[in-house]
Structure 1
Amino acid sequence: MRVAFVGKGGSGKTTLSALFSRYVAGRGAPVVAVDADINQHLGMILGVEEPDLPPPMGGHLTEIKDYLRGDNPRIPSAEVMVKTTPPGRGSRLLTLGERTDPLHRRFAVPTPEGPELMVTGPFEESDLGVACYHSKVGAVELYLNHLVDGAGEYVVVDMTAGADSFASGLFTRFDMTYLVAEPTRQGVSVYRQYRDYASEFGVRIAVVGNKVHGEQDVAFLRDHVGDDLLTWFEHSAAVRALEQGRPFALDDLEPANLDALGVLLKQLDGCEKDWRRFGEQAIEFHLRNAAAWANRATGTDLAAQIDPEFVFGPAALAEPTPYASVAPRPMEGGGSPL
């Protein structure tokens, strides 16, 4: 299962991403936590010192593309592979079981509390003034497009703040999106944007209140987000200790906050994974990006990268592969270049 944590900057989404990753890993499940935020703090909260961080995926896009394209005849080179390029027959697919493939071995490192960590990486000096952060986050979209995750396996992605993730198809790559909101007008404003943008694509959203001080704060959240409020985290001295780098264990959490992590996991596990919709939306956003900028940037018609006989999901791992058609949908242009 894949879950994204989104929200306003400063809402606490990175901290909740880390807590949730640790909570799930503590139950013995394989967990990959991905820092896809422009402010790269997830590793720090998961206890990984800066010298031990994994190589940034965003700085090795050509390497990642070369591995993922495999011997797919529709993708002759990394130069014509973009962030939305979907897998096809011959592409290399990823799994979360043993995670012994070269991509996980190179770009994921274990953390002291169990989850493995992958990072998109920060802006480098050469990026300043000439690149947008989507050039880094595109690595996560490629990773998720080629990942076949099963029951009891988890990818937790700490996303960029605000509604910026809607600049690509990445927001459709998850089974569940948790929007972290403080009980303030600013805190719930991002929720409205996400709700309105995501509704067209069937993206599941639940609101997670954070830094809640009492019933009045809960009532405020209910008034503004209604039934989308799933659970909330009380203001926590234990979390403050974690954020200040002091010793912290999950058992230090207040009982209500520990229970809230359980609610998040139960909600995620209750989601039904829809591989067909996943495939249709992958194709949809690829065609959108191809028409808007990628055909021009690569000098080729990227619609030809779509393999009409490829089936998304576990069946693609079978040998021989029982391919089933996912037909492309005609699109209008739009999107943001990688």
Structure 2
Amino acid sequence: MSSESSSESGSEPRPEFTKTPGWLDWYENPSRPAFALPPGTVDTHCHVFGPGDVFPFAPERKYTPCDASADQLFALRDHLGVSRNVIVQATCHGADNSAMVDAVRASGGRARGIATVPPDVTDAELRRLHEAGVRGVRFNFLKRLVSSAPKDDLAVIARKIAPLGWHVVLYFEGAELAELDTFFGSLPTPLVVDHLGRPDVGKPVGGPEFGRFLRFVERGDVWVKVSCPERLTLTGPAALDGERDAYRDVVPFAREVVDEFPDSVLWGTDWPHPNLTDHMPDDGLLVDHVPHVARTAEQRHKLLVANPTRLYWPGEDT
């Protein structure tokens, strides 16, 4: 952690936080992936939580997590063979981006950030965040995580960040796209959709609900994170015959997106996997999920290296 943020606490009493009952802590000893990630791989969706005694959690939070520090994130990065990270502001920190910014700065240029900001955010604050490595803001529409998502306020934020070349990250349930589609189309920035748009994998991949999502992406300037099979699955993490191919029910949805939009897909771990109630995934197994959904070397290079580099480190060779 950087000394800049840690030293601010001085000798003042540090807050104590009690985890939400039933909270699942992240997997401490992930397996070594069988699939070797290519050099330059970017994990485009991960978080840091606190530590709470240094970066207090927001009073209005919907949950209290375990601590998950920048150092622990970077240890996982190195264990999995990831080169860089995109650290997404966690809702438990509200609009106080201190923990995320501290982690991005501590990465030595190997991370970018996605912030949460209020509609009255100043241009000076946005410039400060940009200089720290932030490249977008997240709009969260999941009712279990946010009390409301007022579209007028979000539109104001989008207009403010557009001149910086930032994008908007969207988190919503697949069934909600019908009512959100027009609003999303009005935003003046590129869009990045979390977790395949959270489809209901119990429905047909060729059905109308996922078809609507594919048509939404087809309009252009929309990126999709092929991430979180552990959050979408109905069948669970069990692999058959000892093979490392868990979350099989999610594979057809992810493959469809990778096949149709190979230049607009991204990948991420979602570490430390907030708000899971069924099981905590082995991050090594999540890496081994990748070749099941991106079946060619070219698809994997685009998903893991070329696309995220173009979005977050434009101008670099891949």
TM-score, normalised relative to structure 2: 0.38
Structure showing greater Rg: 1
Which is bigger in relative contact order (C-alpha 8 A, separation at least 6)?
Answer: 1
Q: Which has the higher helix share?
A: 1
TM-score, normalised relative to structure 1: 0.36
